[in-house]
Homo-oligomer: A and B are copies of this chain.
Amino acid sequence: MIDFAPHDHDGCIASALAAAEEGCAARGLRLTDARRRVLEILLESHRALGAYDVLDRLRAEGRPAQPPLVYRALDFLVAQGFVHRIERLNAFVACARPGAEHAPAFLICRACEAVAEMPVAPEEGRLGSAARATGFALEATTLEAEGLCPNCRGAVA
């Protein structure tokens, strides 16, 4: 999802799952049932879900599950780049560009809670040059913005 526009979401889900399958196969890793189901739950919407939201959905569909199951699955999916963690929300969102190397940035709507993943390269911005200037070795960056998405901008007073 490059912005907040409607799109072929079924295809969106299918291609993300396919990318995850391929990525795991290529790296000799297993997209187990639990991991796959957690990814599917996150893919259902372009919103960030808390680990316990995911847990609730697993339980709602009849799977007994405990927090560690969810956190293990999320850790795996994040490590493989199929899911991103949203630090501002302590929550998780499915990657909109699985497979491609990318350093994502996020636009988070505070009204509808939609999350859009934008393709940026933070290490090439001012932070990167500032880091280089001070001798800081960048390893991971978080770039998140909160505000109102185009859809909610009109709806809210």
Contact = CB atoms under 8 A, between A and B. Distances in A.
Chain A residues touching B, majority SS: mixed
A47 B122 CA distance: 23
B146 A143 contact: no
B127 A105 contact: yes
Interface string A4-34: 1100000000000000000000000000000
Given A87-B88, A142-B87, A136 B148 contact: yes
Nearest to A85: B88
A69 interface: no
A103 to B, nearest CB: 10
Interface string A125-157: 111001101111111111111111110010000
Given A125-B126, A140-B146, 13 more contacts: A2-B134, A88-B142, A90-B90, A105-B126, A107-B131, A116-B136, A120-B125, A120-B130, A122-B145, A131-B147, A136-B145, A137-B153, A138-B145
10 contacts: A87-B142, A107-B130, A116-B134, A120-B126, A121-B126, A135-B149, A136-B149, A137-B153, A139-B146, A141-B146
